[in-house]
Amino acid sequence: MAKILIVDDDIDFVSAVKLVLTSNGFDTAVAYSRQEGMDKFVSEKPDLVLLDVMMDEPDDGFVLAQSLKKKSKDTPILMLTSVGQVTGMDFDKDSEMVPVDDFEQKPIMPNHLLEKVNQLLGN
Amino acid sequence: MQIIDRQKINNQIEDLRKKYGEDRSALMPILQDLQEIYGYLPDVVMQETAHAMGIHPVEVEGVASFYSFFRTKEKQGKYVIRLCQTISCDLAGKQNVARQMENELGIKFGETTKDGMFTLEYTNCLGMCDQGPAVMVNDRLFAKVDAEKAFRIITDCRRDFLKSDFPEVVPSDVKKAGPILDHGIKPVESLKKALAMPRSEIIATIRESGLKGRGGAGFPTAIKWQLAGAAKGDKKYVVCNADEGEPGTFKDRMLLYEETDLLLDGMTIGAYAVGAKKGFIYLRGEYLYMRKYLEKALEDRRTQKLLGGNILGYKEFNFDIEIRMGAGAYVCGEETALIESLEGYRGEPRNRPPFPVDTGFQGNPTIVNNVETFIDAALIISKGADWFNEHGTDKSKGMKIFSISGDCELPGIYEFPFGIKVSELLKEAGGINAKAVQIGGASGHCIARKDFHRTIAFEDIGSGGSIIVFGPDADMLQVAKNFLEFFVEESCGQCTPCREGNPKLLEGVELLEKGRCSVTYLNELKKLGETIQVASKCGLGQSSPNAFLSIVENFKSEILSPAVAGKLTKEEQYAR
Ligand SMILES: Cc1cc2nc3c(=O)[nH]c(=O)nc-3n(C[C@H](O)[C@H](O)[C@H](O)COP(=O)(O)O)c2cc1C
Ligand code: SF4
């Protein structure tokens, strides 16, 4: 069973996503900050990471994505962010600065999320 | 006559558009050059400029009237003499110089001599606070001007100023250097090292160093670079904020001149890290004398392949830097106002968000950093994050360059670690008798002896490095007045609390001066100040009452003393 790590400082969002994923048969691990995300990545060895951008610092998601890819470049990362709505910021995948496999805007519909997750896991 | 004139003007404008570009962002440099030619900006010149650029003449007039260095009414004199009216120059004896100049020229400040030779003006901080009183004549700066030197300057101008034996560049006065100023790094060393690193690694090193912006606000540099690097966009920009308008700050003047290569290395590293192709140095109008020198440095770097296409042989790394001159508006140091100004508009701050890292110059991702920040970044790349963050405090890493002026024995430029106590700093600068210290310039706080144990750090008293010392005899009401006059003059006028509130505070200070301000009214002024702090749109308004409020708090009995000294009865003191 694939394990998915959710890294986001929004507790409500994390529990909602966790519910969607577990009820669809996925294993989950959660982290609420950049540092915790890194620790859990090492201890839990997830197959996929769902990653927020703005946590304690506005660039935490990018920084963590860079570190994660250095540790294991084959673990896919799906970046989930509401950054655009809050600040008008617009980001794109970029192997150097934003090394993520896909991008999705929050809020995201459960079906769409599951579709993305399956796609990234190669299911 | 009119027709020929217009034709000539048009040709000049066309030449300037070829030089500076065809889009709106060329407006400021075009107007600056046209003013050079005509001595001011006559209506017809503004109309023709508008016509050529396809904008309404009102737009051009709006821009010209915003900046104090543009003249639209009357021709300025061949020599425009600007005397600094900032508090440090006040303390150093500006009044005598002013009197001498008025007597010698037979005009008042704000006027031009009948023969069209001289215009006399006051200006805000010239960035020479350690060597005041300071005077600027056209693009030349003069330090330590007294009545006699003022006379000599005027005589030189009358003869032909260019032959003057005054130095072209006023030497900087570095009193204490440390790891930053004694870096020992050769030009281009940092850049070479950076270009061999992955872009994310450069930003990771900056992050590890803990570098926070040296312009005053202390925003972490790595976050700014990371966000701009991650932002979507083919066109990204790097801007060096060399506006240094904060009264009492002059360290960037020294850094621009003496650490030019390191600055340009830092900007180029920043460009590489975020993926920018173009950079600007926004140089304050008061530092015009430095332009030639900086242009030459840029040209040298182009020939050495350090700017332009394929920098240092790295394919696909193309980057060049253009110098843009400010025109005497303090608010343009605020980064969004600076960007407006670069785009050819009035320097009016924008709402944030969106932030420049995403929506900066012409709507593209842009990093704006202080001169010192770029220099620190270059050094961090060369020497490593640990070298930098072994100094300073937990939340304010590294060494900081300070500009110290006012009533102290050794004014000048000092390098200290963040976290230094105010008392230690005063000891070094020979100002232990101080009764108050203004930290952070006009927008900073004025602290009294009881707080000299406090530290300069973002978590205690933050500062871009401006320290103005007030001796035992300083008149604190005059200090408050000087700063408020500054803000009244420099407010861009966009929002009500700042535009209307500051003149009210100034009026209050004038009442205090006359001994006609009651305690009750003073309390109302305090409330007004607090409202301005929370209700203003940009940092200028938000910080404008700081000095006044801290002086009221720390020197209440002194500033109320005229009222107590018999001018108001007890009832009157508490009336209103
Ligand atoms: C009214 C006002 C004036 C400012 N003037 C300057 C200035 O002259 N130089 C500067 O570097 N920052 C100035 N700043 C701060 C800039 O807005 C911005 O924070 C800074 O350029 C960012 O660079 P840094 O992060 O490297 O400090 C000013 C801010 C305000 C509100
Ligand atoms: S606070 Fe003052 S300077 Fe800033 S936008 Fe408002 S009026 Fe302009």
Q: What are phi and psi of B437, to 5 degrees?
A: -135, 130
- What number does the ligand 1 atom closest to the CA of B538 have? 31
Average pLDDT, integer, range B183-201 = 96
Residue type, B330: Y
CA-nearest residue of chain A to B273?
Answer: A97
Ligand nearest to the CA of B357: 1
Contact check, Cβ <8 Å, A87/B358: yes
Residue B197 at interface with chain A, using a CB cutoff of 8 Å: no
**CATH architecture of the domain formed by A3-121:** 3-Layer(aba) Sandwich (3.40)
Q: Is B426 near ligand 1, meaning CB less than 6 Å away?
A: no
Q: Are domains B80-163 and B175-388 of this chain identical in fold?
A: no
B93-149 tens-digit pLDDT: 999 999 999 999 999 999 999 999 999 999 988 988 889 899 999 888 899 999 999
Least Cα separation, residue B352 to chain A (angstroms): 8
Which residues of chain A make contact with B206, given a CB cutoff of 8 A?
none
Strands B278-283 and B436-439: what pairing?
unpaired
Handedness of CA B15, B21, B27, B33 (dihedral sign): negative
Query: B456 C-alpha vs ligand 2 centroid, how far in Å?
Result: 26
pLDDT, tens digit (0-9, with 9 covering 90-100), for A85-113: 555 566 766 778 899 999 888 889 999 99
Boundaries of every domain in chain A: 3-121
Alpha carbon distances (Å) from B518 to A71, B272, B575: 68, 59, 6
Pocket test for ligand 1, best of B244, B334, B351 (most atoms within 8 A of CB): B334
Contacts of A98 in chain B (CB under 8 A): 230
Using a 6 Å CB cutoff, which residues line ligand 2? B 331, 349, 491-495, 498-499, 536-538, 540-541
Give the tokens for residue B24: 């709106």
Contact A87 B353 (CB under 8 A): yes
Topology (CATH) of B80-163? Glutaredoxin (3.40.30)
Torsion angle, alpha carbons of B423, B424, B430, B435, to 10: -10
- The domain defined by B175-388 carries CATH number 1.10.1030.10: no
Average pLDDT of the residues in B190-217 = 96
> pLDDT of B226-268, one tens digit each?
999 999 888 999 999 999 999 999 999 999 999 999 999 999 9
What is the rounded distance in angstroms from the CA atom of residue B329 to the CA atom of residue B123? 10
- Read off the pLDDT of residues B493-542 as tens digits, 9 standing for 90 and up: 999 999 999 999 999 999 999 989 999 999 999 999 999 999 999 999 99
Cβ atoms within 10 Å, residue B148? 11
Ligand 2 atom with minimal separation from the B498 CA: 2
Residues in A closer than 8 angstroms to B395, CB to CB, are none
**CA B126 to ligand 2 centroid distance, Å:** 22
ipTM metric: 0.91
Residue of minimum CA distance from atom 6 in ligand 1: B333
Mean pLDDT over each residue of chain B, to the nearest integer: 93
Q: Fold for B6-66, please state it.
A: Arc Repressor Mutant, subunit A (1.10.10)
Per-residue pLDDT tens digits for B46-105: 999 999 999 999 999 999 999 999 999 888 899 999 999 998 898 889 999 999 999 999
Give A42-87 as a DSSP string. HHH--SEEEE-S-SSSTTHHHHHHHHHHHH-TTS-EEEEE-HHHHH
Query: Between the CA of residue B175 and those of B178, B201, B573, what are the distances in Å?
Result: 10, 35, 47
CA distances for A39 relative to A31, A45, A71, B142, angstroms: 9, 10, 12, 59
DSSP single-letter state for residue B470: E
What's the rounded mean pLDDT across residues A27-43? 97
Counting residues of chain B whose pLDDT is more than 90, the rounded percentage is: 86
| Set of chain B residues whose Cβ sits within 8 Å of the Cβ of A94 | 230
Is residue B540 helix, strand or coil? Answer: helix
**Any idea which fold B476-565 has?**
de novo design (two linked rop proteins) (1.20.1440)
Q: With cut-offs at 50, 70 and 90, classify the pLDDT of residue A84.
A: low
**Domain range annotation of chain B:** 6-66, 80-163, 175-388, 403-470, 476-565
Instruction: Answer yes or no: CATH 3.10.20.600 is held by domain B403-470.
Output: yes
For the beta carbon of residue B337, count every other beta carbon within 10 angstroms. Answer: 25
